[in-house]
């Protein structure tokens, strides 16, 4: 299946997210609104999420915060919200003050509710075997915010069984009311029954306590830790972390089963590192909005230039066959939470309030997101003042304080001169183009930038015809942000999407040969396919194919470009769109493996919307040893 549109501004988005589902008690008061690149301030990880009486509750690991010097958090902060926008922090709900056996570390809390009591299950003391003080504990309270007390005064699980480290626990209550706890690190997963008191373990029919339920291992992105189980349409879903938590290989996978005890069969990647936005997302919680029925994944991630973990959430969806559509980490901010968490400012006095990001008039103030976009679609609402100009910066590097103290591009609205402008900076200013436009001070304008290779287009108000269109190849990629030059300005509804999409989790048909999907980025079958994830088809026959969906944003002409891997065993392919062939047969043979971008075809679309792009094996070069296809990404470049 192809990626899905996460925003009406996205240029043919395929979604990279595998969905999950879990039912939480209570009703939400309002439909959740995505606000900000991270939703609470500070460094946190491993979030679980529950809904109690209309309020969302998030339980994360507390990392060492700014200004602290201790290593290994020894307390838990939790957060609540009625709208997933404005959050209240409850500090130290669990710590050595109420957990007597806590010695040096406390992490991965998860919540549960039963019979008027609220529970937090947690891992503590990082034991490596039986007989040590530590493992999985449980605390109980009469209210979700506490105060919590140690339910049993000792660990609930303090042994290693089936190779599963006693940590990263998650409680799942099935339709019949039976509560289960899944847990385990070190590459193995167990499930135990919880008795009705929620603080003691039951037994299985064979008299055992611990049952191994590790998803089937394939040697490619196998289970490592952090199980999360939920049920939908009679299917049990387990999502889990693969890779190494401390680097970019960390990701969320998912598996399915018809039984609460498995076997769980891996289905693919749900969420992984995106080199444009964030690194190492993983260890998550799942929630459904009872008012909108939308599903959300809460997870931690690292910004590209910061090793600390922060909390984020994104929407995900299911396919008609109950598989999960991959998640694309959103990079957007509507400032409804009245903070600019995730933004770095360079000069000027910035304020997030009233659902807008405001800056006083300043000669060259900037605010940037820690991103790295090359080909992009960038949209925002810009309200310029009566003097100077205000707008958006993109492909920015080496930022500093000062009017042109950065390298990159800027598109601005100039009220005094009644024009739209675009230019580039490198500690000086070079104008690239201007276009006349009637502009009114203190009026909101919707601005869109489409940057594809050396084509830079700026749209204002009218999203079909660019106000300014230039060609420049000076800067290839970098951060995005907002900027003002001698203008008091406001910004809102920031949305940034890459217009280059990876080909993964696709519909693949092979009458012979093997399908290899979701590889690359140093962890899969092809370790260097442009540093991302792609799909390979080890085809041995003509007419094998790979198909995916492209969401064409506008009725116009595009150049279709595809990132591929050439090599001695590569075949030839023909592109068709909705059953009509386009372009010539492409030959992927070369004497050595190399990565290239092919201009496959120029296509004029008479309508926008989803189109079926199909790459069919057409044969092979006489020198090639096989028909294999390796596809990394596809992008549409407006002609």
Q: Write the CB contacts of 580 (distance below 8 Å, at least 6 apart in sequence).
A: none
Q: Reply yes or no on whether 145 is catalytic.
A: no
Cα angle 530, 532, 534; round to 5: 95
Cβ(51)–Cβ(290) below 8 Å: yes
3-state secondary structure 225-269: EEEEEEEECCEEEEEEEECCCCCCCCEEEEEEECCCCCCCEEEEE
| Tokens read off for 510 | 């092979």
What DSSP string describes 420-440?
EEEEEEESSEEEEEEEE----
Distance CA 136, CA 113 (A): 17
Cβ(571)–Cβ(629) below 8 Å: yes
Q: Reply yes or no on whether 46 is catalytic.
A: yes
User: For 144, left (φ over 0), alpha (ψ -120 to 50), or beta?
Assistant: alpha
- The catalytically annotated residue of 168, 225, 379, 404 is 225
Helix (H) or strand (E) holding 601: strand 594-604
Long-range (24+ apart) CB contacts under 8 A made by 296-300 are 296/32, 296/49, 296/84, 297/17, 297/19, 297/20, 297/252, 297/270, 297/271, 297/327, 298/47, 298/48, 298/49, 298/58, 299/47, 299/252, 299/271, 300/44, 300/45, 300/46, 300/47, 300/60
Three-state DSSP state, 51 = strand
- The catalytically annotated residue of 41, 46, 279, 544 is 46
Cβ(411)–Cβ(468) below 8 Å: yes
What burial class does residue 14 get, using C-beta atoms within 10 Å of its C-beta: 0-12 exposed, 13-18 middle, 19+ buried? buried
| Tokens read off for 634 | 């596809």
The residues annotated with a catalytic role in the active site are: 46, 225
């Amino acid at each position: 299946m192809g990626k899905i549109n996460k925003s009406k501004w996205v240029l043919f988005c395929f979604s990279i997210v595998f969905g999950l589902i879990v039912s939480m008690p209570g009703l939400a008061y309002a439909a959740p609104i995505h606000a900000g690149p991270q939703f609470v301030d500070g460094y946190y990880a491993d979030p679980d999420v529950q809904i109690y009486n209309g309020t969302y509750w998030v339980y994360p690991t507390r990392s060492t915060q700014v200004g602290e010097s201790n290593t290994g958090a020894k307390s838990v902060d939790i957060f609540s919200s009625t709208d997933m926008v404005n959050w209240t922090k409850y500090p130290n709900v669990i710590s050595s003050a109420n957990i007597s056996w806590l010695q040096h570390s406390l992490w991965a809390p998860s919540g549960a509710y039963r019979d008027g009591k609220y529970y937090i299950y947690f891992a503590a003391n990082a034991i490596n075997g039986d007989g040590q003080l530590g493992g999985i504990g449980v605390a109980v309270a009469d209210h979700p915010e506490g105060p919590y007390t140690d339910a049993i005064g000792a660990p609930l699980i303090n042994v290693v069984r089936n190779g599963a480290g006693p940590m990263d626990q998650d409680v799942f209550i099935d339709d019949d009311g039976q509560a289960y706890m899944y847990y385990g690190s070190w590459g193995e997963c167990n499930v135990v029954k919880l008795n009705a008191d929620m603080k003691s373990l039951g037994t299985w029919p064979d008299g055992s306590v611990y049952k191994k339920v590790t998803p089937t291992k394939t040697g490619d992105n196998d289970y490592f830790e952090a199980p999360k189980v939920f049920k939908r349409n009679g299917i049990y879903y387990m999502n889990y972390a693969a890779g190494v938590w401390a680097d970019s290989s960390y990701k969320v996978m998912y598996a399915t089963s018809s039984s609460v005890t498995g076997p769980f069969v891996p289905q693919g990647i749900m969420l992984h590192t995106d080199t444009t936005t964030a690194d190492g997302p993983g260890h998550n919680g799942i929630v459904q909005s009872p008012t909108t029925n939308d599903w959300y994944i809460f997870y931690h991630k690292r910004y590209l230039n910061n090793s600390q973990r922060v909390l984020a959430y994104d929407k995900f969806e299911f396919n008609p066959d109950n598989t999960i559509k991959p998640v694309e980490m959103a990079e957007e901010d509507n400032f409804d939470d009245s903070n600019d968490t995730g933004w770095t400012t360079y000069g000027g006095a910035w304020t997030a309030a009233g659902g807008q990001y405001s800056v006083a008039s300043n000669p060259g103030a900037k605010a940037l997101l820690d991103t790295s976009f090359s080909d992009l679609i960038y949209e925002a609402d810009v309200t310029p003042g009566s003097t100077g100009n205000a707008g958006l910066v993109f492909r920015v590097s080496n930022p500093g304080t000062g009017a042109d103290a950065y390298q990159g591009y800027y598109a601005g609205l100039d009220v005094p001169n009644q024009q739209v402008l675009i230019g580039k900076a490198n500690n000086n200013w070079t104008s690239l183009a201007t276009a006349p436009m009637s502009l009114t001070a203190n009026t909101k304008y919707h601005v869109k930038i489409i940057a594809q290779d050396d084509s830079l287009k700026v749209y204002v108000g009218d999203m079909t015809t660019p106000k300014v269109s230039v060609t420049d190849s000076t800067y290839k990629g970098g951060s995005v942000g907002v900027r003002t030059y001698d203008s008091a300005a406001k910004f809102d509804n920031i949305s940034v999407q890459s217009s280059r999409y990876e080909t993964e989790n696709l519909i693949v048909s092979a009458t012979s040969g093997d399908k290899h999907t979701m590889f690359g980025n140093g962890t899969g079958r092809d370790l260097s396919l442009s540093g991302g994830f792609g799909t390979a088809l080890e085809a041995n026959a003509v007419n094998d194919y790979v198909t995916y969906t492209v969401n064409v944003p506008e009725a116009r002409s595009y150049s279709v470009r595809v990132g591929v891997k050439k090599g001695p065993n590569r075949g030839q392919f023909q592109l068709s769109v909705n059953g009509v062939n386009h372009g010539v047969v492409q030959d992927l043979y070369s004497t050595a493996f190399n990565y290239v971008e092919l201009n496959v075809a120029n296509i004029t679309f008479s309508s926008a919307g989803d189109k079926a792009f199909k790459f069919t094996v057409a044969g092979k070069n006489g020198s090639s040893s096989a028909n294999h296809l390796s596809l990394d990404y596809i992008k549409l470049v407006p002609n």
